[in-house]
Amino acid sequence: MIKWFIVLMIFNMNLEQPTIEQARARGLIAGLDSFQQSHLNRLIAEYEEHFGQENLADLEALADKGDAKAGKKFMAIVDKLKDIVDFLATKEIGLGKVVKGKLQGNDEAVTCIDPMLKDYYGEVFTLPALSSNGKVLVSRFNGQVFELPEESVARLYNDKDEKMGIKTKITMEEGWPLFIIDLQQYLGVNVDDELQLTDEGKNNPNLLEVHNANKLKVIAFVHVLDDKDGVSVALEFMVEDNSGSEPKMVKKVFTSDALEVWKNFKKIN
């Protein structure tokens, strides 16, 4: 047990429960960029979601008396805190658990989903072939071919998928398309998750469109065809439409950069 208390003391937490505000402050001190800060927010939000009401000292006392359930929960909390400590030490985001479709040779388009591969993250490639060493060959539109780790690449749905009844894109109200990625779980976000704005999100002027939304549902991970490469989360929400003779509720879609979701949103328990 002592080595875990050393870890906690290094993090300057002792047995106190961390808050998002404390973690953000530590993150700023550690010199994190906005993507890393969002990842830190996610780690702390996950901690608070699962263990925010627990008292670490009380659990340890029960565990020392032989309470197996308390001991198991105590170690789960320590493991989560260790994730935070390790991240602040390495600043490496990592993908965590990723659920995505199986890559297929000659896929029309794939995108790099690993934010640590900054030269390739979010860029769209073709996939001419699969390799047998955990790598895939990808091709840029200029013909340049190189390898990327297979786990860092996800396919975009294509015409073949559409013929099988799979939705391949979302057309926004303005008419521009969002191309759906065959990705179901990524950076702690799951398709069908329901989210709401955090206090920081409510103060973000770029999110005025969703300020009155009680909840937003994750409907897909998408690639937005614009000047900024990246992976985005498509969020569906209901809004009141007063354009007609009588008000009615209509569905709208909002996109958020996947790397910054946890800066502005949190899961609804």
Summarised one tens digit per residue, pLDDT across range 152-163 is 999 999 888 899
Identify whether the C-beta of residue 196 lies closer than 8 Å to the C-beta of residue 265. Answer: yes
pLDDT tens, residue by residue, 35-61? 677 777 778 777 777 777 777 778 888
Kindly state the average pLDDT of the residues 90-106. Answer: 80
For domain 99-160, the CATH class is mainly beta
Closest by CA to 151, choosing from 189, 83, 229, 95, is 95
Query: Would you kindly state where each structural domain of the chain is located, as residue ranges?
Result: 2-90, 99-160, 183-267
Give the lowest-confidence range in 59-68, 88-97, 111-120, 247-256: 88-97
Contact call for residues 170 and 213 (beta carbons, < 8 A):
no
* Phi then psi dihedrals of residue 51, to 5 deg: -130, 5
Distances (CA, A) of 199 to 38, 46, 196, 263: 14, 16, 10, 10
Q: What is the pLDDT of residue 106?
A: 79
- Which positions ≥6 away from 149 have C-beta within 8 Å? 114, 134, 135, 136
Sign of CA dihedral 180, 185, 188, 190: positive
